């Protein structure tokens, strides 16, 4: 699924927009969603979804599918707020907690609002586009280099892993439970050795291209548009203002 | 005497594990020529290439760049690799950028070009090769052939005087092979010296000016490709087979007299000429 999201991001209609513009919008609302009251959370969810579906034209089916993943976890987590356990007289009593309804709704809304911001960003901005920009935010070069290499090698190893799995399946390595365990172990060992070998070889490859200790990256082709960034921040402020105005509403 | 851009003198290389990969290898790369390095698996081709761009330091022996022995300090290596580009056999060993343009700009940026310049050089290189529309695609979504082209582009963007390619056509379908050969010919025509290793004798015979046969980490013979590939004894000793064209020409008695038969086209021409002669007489 993560792979699918990253793949989609490369073809996104908003890919050409500067990552900083998208980060201002999604990041601003993400921060807000940590402490804004309930009505504000719903407004964030609505705004982000509308921008994602109508602005960036993310297919609604994809957006919906991706949103259901955190939703499943959050619902399970929130449902525990609706249950009370007690031992009145030596036997367990499981009851419905009315007092938990409001906190549960708050929890779901808060988590989904935050998730929608992250999902919006990752469906419009491929990893390879935003990682190089971390340098500008004073993230240490070693960390950025590690992230870039990890991202690149993730796919190399994923490809290798699927080849290994197919090869083992072709030799009937997963017929029984026992052989499946054994096969998994062999694949893991093989992958480990290969990753060491790959690391050594990619180091040679980089040295051949005059690598000098830091992976240089081209900056994003366009400059970030200041009006867009300001627009996004003003939108955040408006939503924040509205959210805190509703603080005295019932259920807020 | 023609310009010798890169020379290896009595190279020995032993891997830390004790395996001897090169044992007394000699090689001269003439500027502006196309050289094919031929040898069975394990004959030392890849180790030789890694020595020729300074990645491995030979245990004993010297590499001479433009007639001068090479040094192994950081600055020496930088200048060396700027002149001698090495394209690895497996493109995944070489591609580091997330997107194609990021990867191709990696070399130029390392050479100290500004961001704008590096972007311009990368775009120019991609334009020249005909892959400009790849620029923003992620490296991991490309096919093997596409990745091989990208790895080559990454080296070509550094504008080396000499390009060394480790089996550039291995594992590619005929149409990709043809594209790669066209590209090699184009960069050769622009004045770049090209060295490559291959197991395809027919391709080497048709494409190269000169050939060198390696066996057990040493040079068996070096010379014009027509002469080298016709030396049956050395070829057999290196576990190589003569190209089909050469065998056919010999079988038909076309080798030796007059123009050499170096390509399919030439063979067909000679055949049709002799056929006409036959019907006339």
User: Does B179 contact A at CB distance below 8 Å?
Assistant: no
* CB–CB contact B98 A128 (8 Å): yes
* CB–CB contact A204 B111 (8 Å): no
The whole-number pLDDT of residue B276 equals 57
**What's the pLDDT tens digit per position in A13-24?**
999 999 999 999
**What's the pLDDT tens digit per position in B63-122?**
999 999 999 998 999 999 999 999 999 999 999 988 999 999 999 999 999 999 999 999
ipTM of this predicted structure: 0.82
**What's the pLDDT tens digit per position in A65-116?**
999 999 999 999 999 989 888 887 778 888 888 888 999 999 999 999 999 9
> From CA B21, how far away is CA B14, in angstroms rounded?
6
| pLDDT, greater one: A171 or B86 | B86
Per-position pLDDT tens, chain B of length 281: 568 999 999 999 999 998 999 999 999 999 999 999 999 999 999 999 999 999 999 999 999 999 999 999 989 999 999 999 999 999 999 999 889 999 999 999 999 999 999 999 999 999 998 899 999 999 888 999 999 999 999 999 999 999 999 999 988 888 888 889 999 999 999 999 999 999 999 899 989 999 999 999 999 999 999 889 989 899 999 999 988 888 888 887 776 655 677 878 888 887 787 765 555 54
For chains A and B, count residue pairs whose Cβ atoms are closer than 8 Å: 107
Q: What is the rounded average pLDDT of the residues A230-248?
A: 90
The whole-number pLDDT of residue A252 equals 64
Q: What is the rounded average pLDDT of the residues A137-146?
A: 89
Strand partners, B138: B99
* CB–CB contact B93 A155 (8 Å): no
Select the residue of B74, B102, B140 nearest A218 (Cβ to Cβ): B102
Domains, chain B, in order of start with CATH, read 4-91+162-242 (3.40.50.300), 243-281 (no CATH)
> From CA A10, how far away is CA A129, in angstroms rounded?
9
* CB–CB contact B137 A10 (8 Å): yes
* CB–CB contact B154 A10 (8 Å): no
Q: How far is B219 from chain A (nearest CA, A)?
A: 24
Is there a contact between B122 and B104 (Cβ–Cβ < 8 Å)? yes
> From CA B93, how far away is CA A204, in angstroms rounded?
8
The whole-number pLDDT of residue B191 equals 92
Q: What is the rounded average pLDDT of the residues A209-218?
A: 89
User: Does B107 contact A at CB distance below 8 Å?
Assistant: yes
Mean residue pLDDT of chain A comes to 90
A51 burial via Cβ count (<10 Å: 0-12, 13-18, 19+): buried
The whole-number pLDDT of residue B256 equals 61
Select the residue of B50, B118, B139 nearest A204 (Cβ to Cβ): B50
The whole-number pLDDT of residue A99 equals 86
Q: How far is B101 from chain A (nearest CA, A)?
A: 8
Taking Cα atoms as reference points, which of B160, B186, B184, B183 lies closest to residue B5? B160
Minimum CA–CA partner of A213 in chain B:
B110
The whole-number pLDDT of residue B281 equals 46
Minimum CA–CA partner of B121 in chain A:
A218
Is there a contact between B213 and B199 (Cβ–Cβ < 8 Å)? no
Assess whether pLDDT exceeds 70 at residue A201: yes
Q: How far is B93 from chain A (nearest CA, A)?
A: 4
pTM confidence score: 0.84
> From CA B105, how far away is CA B129, in angstroms rounded?
15
The whole-number pLDDT of residue B161 equals 94
* CB–CB contact B96 A206 (8 Å): yes
B19's enclosing H/E stretch is none
Which band of pLDDT confidence, cut at 50, 70 and 90, is reported for residue A7? confident
The whole-number pLDDT of residue B263 equals 79
The whole-number pLDDT of residue B49 equals 95
- Give CA torsion, residues B125, B130, B135, B141, to 10 deg: -120
* CB–CB contact A126 B50 (8 Å): no
Mutate which: A208, A213, A215, A220, vs B, most B CBs within 10 A = A208
> From CA B105, how far away is CA B96, in angstroms rounded?
10
């Amino acid at each position: 699924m993560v792979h699918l999201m990253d793949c989609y991001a490369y073809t996104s209609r908003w890919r050409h927009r500067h990552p900083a513009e998208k980060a201002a919008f999604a990041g601003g609302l993400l921060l807000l969603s940590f402490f804004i009251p309930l009505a504000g959370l719903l407004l964030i969810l609505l705004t982000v979804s509308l921008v994602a579906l109508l602005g960036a034209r993310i297919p609604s089916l994809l957006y919906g599918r991706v949103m259901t993943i955190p939703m499943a976890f959050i619902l399970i987590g929130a449902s525990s707020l609706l249950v009370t356990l007690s031992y009145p007289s030596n036997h367990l009593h499981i009851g419905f907690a009315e007092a938990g309804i409001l906190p549960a709704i708050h929890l779901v809304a808060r988590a989904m609002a935050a998730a929608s911001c992250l999902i919006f960003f990752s469906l419009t901005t491929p990893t390879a586009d935003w990682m190089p920009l971390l340098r500008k935010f004073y993230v240490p070069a070693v960390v950025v280099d590690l992230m870039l290499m990890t991202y690149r090698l993730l796919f190399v190893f994923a490809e290798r892993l699927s080849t290994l799995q197919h090869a083992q399946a072709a030799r009937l390595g997963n017929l029984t439970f026992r052989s499946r365990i054994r096969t998994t172990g062999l694949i893991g060992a093989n992958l480990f050795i290969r990753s060491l070998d790959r690391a050594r070889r990619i180091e040679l490859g980089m040295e051949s291209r005059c690598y000098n200790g830091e992976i240089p990256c081209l900056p994003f082709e366009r400059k970030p548009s200041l009006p867009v960034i300001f627009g996004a921040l003003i939108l955040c402020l408006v939503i924040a203002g509205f959210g805190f105005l509703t603080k005295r509403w019932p259920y807020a | 005497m023609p310009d010798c851009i890169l020379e290896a003198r009595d190279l020995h290389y032993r891997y830390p594990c004790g395996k001897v990969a090169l044992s007394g290898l000699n090689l001269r790369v003439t500027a502006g020529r196309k050289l094919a390095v031929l040898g069975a698996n394990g004959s030392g081709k890849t180790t030789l290439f890694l020595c020729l761009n300074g990645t491995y330091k030979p245990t004993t022996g010297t590499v001479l760049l433009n007639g001068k022995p090479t040094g192994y300090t950081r600055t020496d290596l930088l200048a060396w690799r700027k002149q001698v580009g090495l394209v690895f056999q497996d493109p995944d060993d070489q591609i580091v950028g997330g997107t194609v343009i990021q990867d191709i700009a990696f070399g130029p940026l390392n050479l100290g070009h500004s961001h704008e310049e590096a972007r311009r050089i990368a775009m120019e290189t991609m334009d020249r090769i005909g892959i400009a529309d790849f620029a923003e695609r992620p490296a991991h979504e490309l096919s093997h052939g596409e990745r091989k082209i990208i790895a080559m582009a990454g080296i070509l963007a550094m504008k080396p005087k000499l390009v060394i390619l480790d089996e550039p056509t291995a594992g590619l379908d005929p149409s990709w092979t043809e594209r790669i050969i066209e590209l090699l010919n184009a960069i050769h025509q622009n004045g770049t010296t090209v060295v490559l290793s291959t197991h395809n004798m027919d391709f080497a015979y048709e494409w190269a000016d000169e050939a060198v046969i390696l066996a057990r980490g040493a040079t068996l013979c070096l010379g014009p490709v027509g002469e080298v590939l016709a030396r049956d004894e050395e070829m057999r000793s290196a576990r190589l087979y003569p190209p089909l064209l050469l065998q056919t020409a010999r079988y038909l008695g076309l080798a030796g007299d007059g123009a050499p038969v170096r390509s399919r086209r030439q063979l067909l021409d000679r055949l049709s000429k002799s056929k006409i002669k036959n019907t006339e007489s």
